[in-house]
Amino acid sequence: MAGHPPVIVHPPSPTGGRRVTVRGQIVGLAHGRGDVAALLREAGLAPGADRVVELDQPHLIEWRGGDLDTWR
């Protein structure tokens, strides 16, 4: 899948949260920006607990069904 970012944040679910996949694998359910950043750290895409994760990088993350401020 050349040209696609490795991280997909899927549309908000009716019950809350957004599924997050890294390279096609589900890594968790995020309920806010902090959850997405934590999942990326856990997946090794943003090593270091105190490293700031830039969530608005289109080469890294594709936000589907809304942007990084859309949670419901």
User: Which region among 26-30, 45-49, 64-68 has the lowest average model confidence (pLDDT)?
Assistant: 45-49
* Section 46-69 average pLDDT: 86
pLDDT at residue number 46? 75
Asked if 7 and 21 count as a contact pair (C-beta separation under 8 A), the reply is yes
Give the closest residue to 41 by CA, choosing from 28, 31, 57: 28
* Section 44-62 average pLDDT: 82
Domain positions in the chain: 7-63
Name the one residue in this structure whose structure tokens are 């490795």: 6
pLDDT at residue number 22? 96
pLDDT band at 49 (very low <50, low <70, confident <90, very high): low
Contacting residues for 39 by C-beta, under 8 A, at least 6 apart? 20, 22, 27, 28, 30
CA distance 42 to 39: 5
